[in-house]
Chain A
């Protein structure tokens, strides 16, 4: 190396680094600095989510039309099984039940696909993580954002179904916006949590579909929890109704469907919805950040 004696000889690596103000490569930044870096990457996060969304159907002949066609077909299948064959409406009128079902499916799918995308956010993008610098939380957040945009397309179908069954646009439809915002925060937090877990244990990608399906059936996607559990102890229905997926679904139905009044909502529903969103979003973000320097080891 150096054949000339230098004043730096005899310094240890750490001392030399300190003398010239070098910092440890790949060290985890502080939480405030991390948030600042994330803000700096907001355009990347948005562009990445839009790119993923567009790339999804770019090889299909109908192209982006599938963004709307896929949720429409989904709604049709559920209508066929639960509306026509199983008659799961349990005393709800058809005008309420069909929008009830479709709203439930779409709102739950939003959470479900955010979690599934979260699990693979790091483990499925190791190439990206090992090639470029960016706060790693950009990935799960970007995937959650992609699901939000996907839901926007599903909303077109949802509105059509609601109007088709006699619930016309009214002021209460404005409540959709805060519900979506809260659910998006909740989903993002969940995606962050599962991104960290999935980075360490990729097997979660195999396991989570079953967990999510159980959660779906327990959250009253295709039936009303209080009606279905009428002959069971009250606390079971309470627990199921207070779970975040059921809360966001019920709020969305309340906002959208005329015949679905506030008597179907648990007490303090907005506080619970906000609490879940804040708790999971903040907790998930901190939990993800704590392992920032370890992503990419694979």
Chain B
């Protein structure tokens, strides 16, 4: 690593709280719900889920950081907060440029053809029409959708789940990012496609300043990351070099 380390992401005592409507608290009757709506101020009908509790860290340019922890420990939430997609309850995240989450699923529509979804997904990620046109063939070839016939002109709802996942990944991975965040994106498709997507992620890593990877697969964390953050119940339990943290984590999970 270079002598002067340039920070790209700083999380400062970050707290994230989800508010869930309709989760049962207290009396579940309609009148109770009505009185909760009428009484303003403290939102009482709403249950709060404190997903991330006071996490602080500094990430530097050129780092690949793995996020580990059991299910529901706040890994994905933390990623979204870094990307500025989830508002922080307390604390702040500072970033260099605009971090982006690798994933475009939410923008795609099952009733549209694969072709239109490539365009829609690209536009949703902020690519221009020209950029999409230039990358279009590359995206389709990468997904391998057309290997077994002309599937790209069929609606996405007719795809098998594996095919749909491959197309989604191909669209998402078509854009270059400053700070890139990947949420278990490696585990899609068949063996052949997994290899291809791993290679693409390595490419993206080289181009991106900093990479965050959420995964339950300790092997892919070892392969790609040089630093690991271990989250447990929304708290940062450990932060250090990959081997050190993974060793502790594996003891903890009894592996």
Contacts and interface: CB of A to CB of B under 8 A. Distances in A.
Interface of A: 1-2, 6, 8, 12-14, 16-17, 20-27, 40-41, 43-44, 47-48, 51-52, 54-55, 58-59, 125, 127-134, 202-203, 293-294, 296-298
B37 A16 contact: no
A41 B124 CA distance: 8
Contacts of A26: 81, 83-88, 93
B111 A58 contact: yes
Interface stretch (B5-13, B144-152, B218-226, B246-254): B5-13
A21 B7 CA distance: 10
B98 A202 contact: no
A208 to B, nearest CB: 15
Contacts of B72: none
B58 A1 contact: yes
Contacts of A20: 6-7, 96
A133 B94 contact: no
Contacts of B128: 43
Given A20-B6, A44-B124, A51 B58 contact: no
A133 B12 contact: no
Contacts of B58: 1, 13, 16
Contacts of B105: 127, 131
Contacts of B5: 2, 6, 8
Contacts of A17: 7, 10, 94
A25 B101 CA distance: 13
A131 B95 contact: no
Contacts of A202: 21
A256 B126 CA distance: 41
Which 5 residue pairs are nearest across A and B when measured between Cβ atoms? A26-B84, A13-B12, A17-B94, A25-B84, A127-B106
A41 B119 contact: no
Given A132-B124, A297-B18, 9 more contacts: A8-B5, A14-B12, A25-B82, A25-B83, A25-B94, A51-B112, A125-B106, A131-B101, A297-B87
B81 to A, nearest CB: 8
B32 interface: no
A298 B18 contact: yes
Name the residue among A12, A13, A24, A130 with the largest chain B CB count within 10 angstroms.
Answer: A13
24 contacts: A13-B13, A13-B92, A13-B94, A14-B92, A14-B94, A20-B6, A21-B96, A22-B7, A22-B8, A24-B94, A24-B95, A25-B82, A25-B93, A26-B81, A47-B120, A48-B107, A51-B112, A55-B111, A130-B86, A131-B104, A132-B85, A133-B83, A134-B126, A297-B87
A48 B94 contact: no
A172 B80 CA distance: 53
A129 B111 contact: no
B239 interface: yes
Contacts of A133: 83-85, 98, 100, 126
A176 B119 CA distance: 33
Would you call the interface of chain B mostly helix, strand, loop, or mixed? Answer: mixed
A131 B106 contact: yes
Contacts of B57: 1
Given A13-B92, A13-B94, A44-B123, A131 B85 contact: yes
Contacts of B129: 43
A286 B7 CA distance: 34
A48 B124 contact: yes
A294 B123 CA distance: 23
A134 B86 CA distance: 13
Nearest to A55: B111
A259 to B, nearest CB: 43
A13 B88 CA distance: 16
Contacts of A47: 119-120, 123
Name the residue among B56, B80, B104, B111 with the largest chain A CB count within 10 angstroms.
Answer: B111
A77 B83 CA distance: 50
A54 B112 contact: yes
B87 A294 contact: yes
A132 B101 contact: yes
Nearest to B96: A22
Nearest to B92: A24
Nearest to A37: B126
Contacts of A298: 18-20
Interface in B102-151: 103-107, 109-112, 116, 119-120, 123-126, 128-129
B85 A296 contact: yes
Given A24-B94, A41-B126, A134-B126, A128 B239 contact: no
Given A25-B84, A51-B120, A298-B19, A132 B106 contact: yes
Interface in B232-255: 239-240
Contacts of A51: 109, 112, 116, 120
Contacts of B104: 131-132
A23 B92 CA distance: 10
A59 B7 contact: no
Nearest to B5: A6
A54 B5 CA distance: 50
Interface in B2-36: 5-13, 18-21
